[in-house]
Amino acid sequence: MKKPVVTVSDHAVLRYLERARGLDVEAVRRQIGRAVDLATAHEGVSAVVVDGLRFHLREDTVTTVVPAHSPDKRTGRVRRKART
């Protein structure tokens, strides 16, 4: 399949999923919020890992979600697993 000439924004993709495909965005938002709430035992954490995903936080806001053990895009190195 040929790459489209037009760029599609993340906002447009989200609205398409919500309006054309019936995705309940608010339900997904609540699900993420509950998962992060359960995982954040300490104030001031910058990220939590839940079900293999790392949720990055800025204050009380989840700013992005990435696979927990994905390589750092800047260095190409995989982060070490935390010691328990």
Q: What amino acid is encoded at 18 in this protein?
A: E
pTM: 0.70
Domain that holds residue 60: 11-67
Mean pLDDT of 50-77: 87
- 79 belongs to a structural domain: no
* Percent of the chain at pLDDT exceeding 70: 92
Mean pLDDT of 59-74: 85
- 5 belongs to a structural domain: no
In this structure, what is the dihedral angle of CA atoms 64, 27, 11, 49, given to the nearest 10 degrees? 10
Backbone angles phi, psi at 49, to 5 degrees: -110, 125
The encoded tokens of residue 45 equal 């954490």
- 39 belongs to a structural domain: yes
Q: Is 60 in a helix, a strand, or coil? A: coil
Q: What is the pLDDT of residue 76?
A: 74
Q: What amino acid is encoded at 12 in this protein?
A: A
The number of distinct structural domains making up the chain is: 1
